[in-house]
Amino acid sequence: MAITSIFEILIYPGLHSRPGKEFVNICMEYESSVKIKMNDNEFDGKSMIGILSLGIAKDKPFTLMLDGKEEEDFMSKFEDLIENE
């Protein structure tokens, strides 16, 4: 069963290279499918190029879609990453 959540990055300048790399590293720990959607664009969350291509800036909402057996654990780790940035 897939789960979806909407987030906003609260730090300036947004989900740039360092936090993006941390996000991809967390994604790689799981077998779950990870998709990030912003506006009409959707990318694989396990792709650093995809994350940077979205240009997720501070205070701009994006949707995180997870599908797999460990999706709840993954969502919890991502929420921790957002809160600690």
Q: Whole domain around residue 37: which residue ranges? A: 3-84
Instruction: Please tell me the pTM assigned to this model.
Output: 0.82
Which CB contacts under 8 angstroms, 24+ apart, belong to 74-80?
A: 74/26, 74/27, 74/29, 74/30, 74/32, 74/34, 75/3, 75/5, 77/26, 77/29, 78/7, 78/23, 78/26
The 10s digit of each residue's pLDDT in 62-71 is 999 999 888 8
Query: Considering the chain, what percentage of its residues have pLDDT values greater than 70?
Result: 98
Total domains, the chain: 1
Quote the mean pLDDT of the chain.
Answer: 87
Residues 51-66 have a mean pLDDT of 89
Report the pLDDT value the prediction gives residue 84, as an integer from 0 to 100.
65
Domain CATH for 72: 3.30.1340.10
